[in-house]
Amino acid sequence: MKSMLAVTALCVALGACATGSSERAAPTQPVGEPPGIAGLAAPDVKLAFGEPAFVRHDGTTQMWRYDGQTCRAFFFLYDQNGVQTVKHVETLPRGTAMPADVTCLDALRLKPPPKVS
């Protein structure tokens, strides 16, 4: 009887693990962040936007500011396993549905983002 309970518990545990792993497989867009920005490594930000106009260091956290003719963008980078990675971005003026205005970010890019068809 005890072995039957142990087998049942093991099956339930394995089933929970299997369900959890399939749910984790699909990456999700962070809520409130513009597509394709959160998670970028510092070198990728520089490839897309160039050198920042201003950099502020606060421990292992950095804030990079990009200045355009009609707006500014503020990228907040945090150390993630030794790599500075964007966790949040805001613009002035702010976006309508989030702190970052996608139109501003597109205007600040060195090259326009690829079109999705």
Number of domains in the chain: 1
Tell me the C-alpha distance between 42 and 86, whole Å. 7
| pLDDT at position 27 over 70 | no
Tell me the C-alpha distance between 42 and 84, whole Å. 6
Q: How many other C-beta atoms lie within 10 A of the C-beta of residue 15?
A: 10
At residue 20, the pLDDT reads: 45
Band of pLDDT at residue 17, cut at 50, 70 and 90: very low
> Structural domain of residue 43, as residue ranges?
32-117
Band of pLDDT at residue 31, cut at 50, 70 and 90: confident
Candidates 38, 49, 51; CA nearest to 111 is: 49
At residue 59, the pLDDT reads: 94
| pLDDT at position 29 over 50 | yes
CB 79 within 8 A of CB 61: yes
Q: How much is the mean pLDDT over the chain? A: 80
Please report whether residue 5 resides in a domain: no
At residue 12, the pLDDT reads: 41
DSSP code of 37? T
Please report whether residue 70 resides in a domain: yes
Please report whether residue 12 resides in a domain: no
